[in-house]
Structure formats: C-alpha cells, structure tokens
Structure 1
C-alpha cells in the first residue's frame, strides 16, 4: 500500500484543456468525488452504529452526512467514480499516481474542510450514553474553523472500522515515504508529544488545495513559516556578462537543468548518483552571482528562492534545522532553485569540539549536508570567499564557479548594455576608455549608470555626461576604501 513512486513535479501534472475551463472541470470532478465519499461514509455510519447502540428511534435520527446538493444521502452501494475520461487537474493527479480507493477517500476527507466543511458536521454527533462525541470518530474542532477537522483516527474509522488487521495495513498511508507525505501533499499536526500519533490532524498543504481546485499554485508568502523570498528579473540570459571560462562552467548547470531528469530516470542513473545539483558561486560582491541564479531559473521557467539567513539561523539549539526544514519541505517536488546568499553563515567550517555549542553547531552542519544530498533540485551556495565554506560541503558540490571581476572587454559590454535607450551615453571611444581605465564590478557599474542617469534627469537632459560618470566611479571607489 505504500507508494514509493517518484512522481512528477507538481507543475508537470496539468490539465490538457484550455485554461478557461480548468476551474469548472476541477469542480465537476470534485463534486463526483465528494458525492462518492458521502455515500461511502453514510454506509459506514449505518453499518457501524445500529440504532440500538445509538439509542435512536428511527433512521431520521441516525447521524448522516448531508450531500453536496443539500439533501440527505440514503444508504446505497456507489461505485468509485471513473475519472479516466476526466481532464481536470485532480483526475490527472489520481490517474498518474494510480491512487486506490483508500488513498482517494483519505485525500477527499482531508480536502472537505477546505471545499465543503459542512459535510463533516455529522461527526459532531453526541454519544448519548457518554454525553460527549464518539471516540471512534476522532477529529477536533479548530480554534477559528467551526467545522470538524479530521485526524488520522477519523480516516482509520472510515476505512477500517473495527477490523484491526486492516487498520494496521492502513498505517502505511501515513508513513513518511508515502506519496502524500513524501511530496508534501498532506501534512500531519501531531500536537502534544504525549498524545497518540493517530490523533494527529490531517491537513492538505496550501499549494495542493489551490492545485486541486483552481489548477493554480499559490506562491508561498515570505514569513517566519517560509523564510525565503522569490527572486525575479527583467533581464535575459543573453544579458549576463561573465568571462568565457565562467560561462563554460555555467553551461554545465544549464545542461543539467535541461537533461538532469532524463539522466536520472531514463538512463537509470538515480541508482548510482545523488539527486539534484549543488553548486558554489564565489567571488567579489557585484560580480553576478545572484543575477546568474535568477537567470538560470528564468531560462527554464523555474522559481528561484533566496533563503533569508537572518530568519533561519538561530542561537537556540535545533531551531536552525527546523527553520531550514520548512523551506526544504515546501520546495520538494516543485523544482525550485534554492539560493543561499552569503552562505558562510550556514556552511562555514566545522570547529573542534571544545564545548556543547561547538557540538550543536557541528550537528547543524551534519543536518545540512544530509538535506543538501537529498534535495532533488538545484541548490546554489553563494559566498564572497570560497575558503570559508566547509570542505565537507565542497566535496558534495557538483560545480564550483568563480565569478571574477570583469575585465576590460566584459566591463565595456556592461557599460554599453546598461544605459536606457531613452538617453544618449558618451560616444564609443569615451566609453571604451572608461571601461579600460576603471576596474569595477558589474554591480558597481550599474550603480554608476544609475547615478549618471539621475543627474541627467535632474538637468532635464537626456545626455549622459562623462563628468557624472567619473564622479559616480569616485563614489564607488570611496565605498570600497579606494581612490582613483
């Protein structure tokens, strides 16, 4: 029953229909699925709780789930809906992962609080002999959500009832390697450590709620629960200016993004090599490390997220790992590019153990090593100094790319491409002389271009003055503690 299939990334499971009708198709499919669920549960309620046990006088008082149409669904044997001819996101998902009846019922149970929460109100029924709800139903009432929130116990009751042998088989549905949890489709809120595991609340993750209903993926918001920001740019790959050797190294990453999945699956190399691709970008500030990461994502329509280390690194033992796990868990099976800027804060060299702090710091690095190895996507570590990164990480890197300061030829390309088409920069001979004489990083050149352009706008003029460029260069040198 455990599904270990390494499935498609969530973006790859999409309906083969015009975008105009995706939501309508999803609604139709989920309506059929929910109706089937309602009938199955009412059968379970009628079979499991005869009138004598509930002290009910007639069927009208028997706990029942209200159908989505608003009426009452009477007991009936209803076959599992055939979704083979549907073309909704939900049916594509069910078909691709070959979900069986138990898995589909579990998924619908977890979805109902998000799409039709009133359907679970029957589980609030009171056991008259005890004066409280039925233990068998499990579930909890949320602090703000007034409806019934299912737990694992709810699912076990619906799928296995009192058949202990079958209930024990159902435990595999909640293992970490089941597709629902391995791909972060469902999450468990285990509550207090002293509570039984099967009291854990079952939640559908936000992105899959959106995916199954609207067909869209909600971009995670930057918050303490997701300490990463999505990076974008209006530039294109052709705008990237680096030396030939650096571009050759970047080509390896570009080729992996294009063919890595084929290498792993079609060529069967997943048995021999680690998943994903890990790279270290090192070099002076402003040499294009961040821009390159963003452009790699844009080239293949992949989201790039920069991890905010100020919200990740914690002085409290174990908190850094927990904060990072939130990001890795969200990112799994979405092909995101994870970018760790100023990675020295996380991936610095291990120290000899002289006290407990050193011990736990080394444990953090050990956790990161394992998490990096397991992540199936592209991870980029950026550092100003390569030597600051622990050797244990460098041994696990697929590529180490040095971003050196641009030479005269690269500087001229950045100068020529940097100005707005609305302005008139100095002539080519003057720009060639500026590029040759002044050693600046790409980021510093763009700062100078911004300064000179603002000065031109302030004069109500479109002509860029050489004097303003030189003054801007002096400002950049002063920031670095240099003089012209």
Structure 2
C-alpha cells in the first residue's frame, strides 16, 4: 500500500500546486509493485496503466486507511474550508472522506476542462476497472453531477485485496440468489442420450464463447449470452445439471430465490432483478431461475392496473435476459407455462423426462451406499420396472431405508424398508402404490 499511497499523494499535490500557483519541485514516485501484496499482484497480472492504478488505489484506500484522504486535504486547508474540486463525501458511519467520481476526476485531470472531459469519456468507454464492474460510481438523484456519486470498489475485490480470497455474495434482500454446488460428477447424472447431447452443447458454448466473439470477430453478429430452458417433472435432474455445468467449467452457479424477487409493489420486482443482473454482468456466473413460471410466466390480458404492470415486469425481464452476457437457465415443470416471447429467444429448450426403467436401475445402483450389504430379497431390476419414480425420489427412498436400517441395527438394507420409503414418496405426490 505504500506505493499506492505515495502515488495518490503525489498526484494530489501536483493538482493542488496548480490551483495555488505553486512552483514546488516534486519528484514523481517510481511505482514498483510489491509482489507480496494482493492488490499489487492484481495490478501486475492485469498490466494496469497509471490512470487505472490511481482509480483502484483511490477506491481501495479508505478500507485500510480511513484517514488518508482527510489528512491530504487538511494539509492544504489547515483552518478548514471547502475544496469543491476534490469532491468526496462524509457518510453516516465513516468519519473520514470517501472518494467520489469527482475525486478521481480531480486527481487525474485537475481543473483543465479538456482533460476533465477526456477523463469522463475514458472512465465510461475505456476503463478496464469500470467496464468489468470492479469499480463503479454510485447513482445520484436527477440533476446532480453524475460523478458526484460515491466511487465504490466491488465487495468481492475488497475482500480479495485484503485476504487474498474472493468473497462470495450471500443471499439477502439486495442479492436474491444463492450459490449452489455439488459433490457429484457427470457419471451421477442419469439422463437419456438426447438430453445429454443438448447439455453438451451448453458446455461447448461455455468453453468456446470468448473465442467465437473475439478471435473469430462474431461480436457484432450474434447476441451476447446463452439462454436455455430446462423443463420436466421435479426431481429429474434440472438443478443438478446446472450445478455440474458450473463445476466443470469453473463457474459459480447462483439459484435465484424467486420469493425474494417477486413483490406486490409496482416496480420492486424489476428493481430486485436489476440489481442481480447488474452484479452478474461481468462475473461469468451461471444464473439459474428455478420454478421460473412465477416470474417468466405467460402475460395476461390487461383487465386492470395490476395486470398492466405485471406484463411490464415480464417485458422488462425479457429485455434483461436477452442482453445478459452470460448463461441464463430457466427451469419449469411444464414448457407450456413459459411465455412464448421467452421461448422464441432461447438457444436451447431441453426436456428432462421421467427416467426409463433402465435409467431408474442405474440410479438405484449409483445411489445405494457401498459400505453396507443389500439384502438378498432386494431385486433392483424389479423395483426399477415396477415403480415409475424420479432420481430425487430414489435418493429420498434410499436415505429413508438407510436410517431405518441403522435404527433397527440391521446389517443389510432389506426390501421392506425400501418399500416403505417408496410408499412415503408416493403419498407425498398423492399417488397409490
């Protein structure tokens, strides 16, 4: 941090000398990154130019040295007073000065009008940090200068620069999504060959999309992102497939909690999802909308104001999904539940069928525990033929049978416990054995 502090202080003093007409001779510090610093490793890895280093240092420094900006200003204004050119704001909790876009503009461009305009254009059109969402300028009320908003370093990068680890966002009212992971492998996903081939197409897009867009220069010809619909009965592998796609392409998968997204208040649903899409835009995440009918269902005939705004929500979400640069998966129990305006824009629509007899047999074999015997009266082939159930049902049945086996102090899993588990699964779905 010493290098960053020295660079920021030098840049501030140069601009202040111009304001006060000082002819002080100052020696510009030579920036030599400390390889033991997480923030400076990031600077080296991304070959950041000096303007980006200044932006990054300015956004990061209040997190470690809250007094730094205040002390710089007070050196020039020991008796107090305002320095509007410097920008900066005071917050409710932080006692020092927090930087704004104006602070960055002053440090980099000073009071020179042409330089200030150049900086504004650079920030919004060229800045690596700004384009990647690593830094951002907080929105301000209408009529106030755009750069008067707080200069914010993304929370994940604050954590990365302090601890060396990326902080995963947690489910909350401002982030209505939850990270989902799996310990399973592709071999544990039992699906028919047609479904597996279509999933392979998604994996291919995740692997080669960047080459297609940039090296093959297709960016102007095809829309960003990839939109997929999974449909089929509950328990047929939709969520597991999304998790495995993330696991094997090294991407985080976030399942959107629709109960936290949908609001009865006009405009709130759009606001909730907008913040999610904004945060996900540059993160290379996979967004998984489970039970997507709740938000992406068919638009209704307009009978009242509520219908009008409900339809506007669907139209807004359609636009955001269509422009999102990453993979978006919508999951539904029934294909017909999703608005056709969405389905026309999907690159792929994949059906997850209830497993066949042979697939159910494989699921039984995959999920039975290896550390205990299976009783001789258990015929997995017969169970697979007789009971038309999903993979999730089979996992629940096996869990039930294992617990009963432990409770009864048996040395093997017997048929009776498995049948009791099947009966419970049938009862949950209102079916008779």
TM-score by length of structure 2 reads: 0.92
Alignment-derived partner of residue 313 in structure 1:
262
Change (3 A) 1:371 1:87: farther
> Within the alignment, does 1:205 sit opposite 2:154 as a pair?
yes
SS at match of 2:374: coil
Q: Cα distance, 1:328 vs. partner? A: 1.6
Alignment-derived partner of residue 321 in structure 2:
372
Alignment-derived partner of residue 250 in structure 2:
301
> Within the alignment, does 1:195 sit opposite 2:166 as a pair?
no
> Within the alignment, does 1:48 sit opposite 2:19 as a pair?
yes
Structure 1 gap segments, 5+ residues each: 1-29, 52-58, 60-73
2:28 to 55, 78, 84: 78
Alignment-derived partner of residue 139 in structure 1:
88
1:423, 1:464 within 8 Å by CA — same for their partners in 2? yes
Q: Cα distance, 1:146 vs. partner? A: 1.4
> Within the alignment, does 1:387 sit opposite 2:336 as a pair?
yes
Alignment-derived partner of residue 303 in structure 2:
354
Deviations 1:139-167 (A, max 9, x none): 11121111110112222222233222221
Change (3 A) 1:37 1:130: closer
Cα separation, 2, equivalents of 1:241 and 1:77? 67
Change (3 A) 1:103 1:243: same
Structure 2 gap segments, 5+ residues each: none
Cα separation, 2, equivalents of 1:147 and 1:209? 18
Alignment-derived partner of residue 8 in structure 2:
37
Cα separation, 1, equivalents of 2:70 and 2:139? 22
> Within the alignment, does 1:329 sit opposite 2:300 as a pair?
no
Q: Cα distance, 1:268 vs. partner? A: 2.0
Cα separation, 1, equivalents of 2:32 and 2:73? 31
2:10, 2:29 within 8 Å by CA — same for their partners in 1? no
Cα separation, 1, equivalents of 2:423 and 2:230? 28
1:211, 1:217 within 8 Å by CA — same for their partners in 2? yes
Q: Cα distance, 1:472 vs. partner? A: 1.2
Cα separation, 1, equivalents of 2:72 and 2:297? 53
Q: Cα distance, 1:401 vs. partner? A: 0.7
Deviations 1:348-399 (A, max 9, x none): 1122333332332222222222221222221111000100111111111111
Alignment-derived partner of residue 121 in structure 1:
70
> Within the alignment, does 1:401 sit opposite 2:350 as a pair?
yes
Cα separation, 2, equivalents of 1:438 and 1:173? 64
Q: How many residues align?
A: 433
1:227, 1:312 within 8 Å by CA — same for their partners in 2? yes
Q: Cα distance, 1:47 vs. partner? A: 3.2
412-421 or 281-290: bigger deviation? 412-421
TM-score by length of structure 1 reads: 0.83
225-234 or 34-43: bigger deviation? 34-43
Q: Cα distance, 1:433 vs. partner? A: 0.6
Cα separation, 2, equivalents of 1:271 and 1:88? 39
Q: Cα distance, 1:277 vs. partner? A: 1.4
1:42, 1:75 within 8 Å by CA — same for their partners in 2? no
Change (3 A) 1:156 1:334: closer
2:377, 2:414 within 8 Å by CA — same for their partners in 1? no
Q: Cα distance, 1:171 vs. partner? A: 1.6
Q: CA RMSD in A?
A: 2.7
Q: Cα distance, 1:344 vs. partner? A: 0.5
Change (3 A) 1:259 1:158: closer
> Within the alignment, does 1:344 sit opposite 2:293 as a pair?
yes
Cα separation, 2, equivalents of 1:256 and 1:355? 42
Alignment-derived partner of residue 67 in structure 1:
none
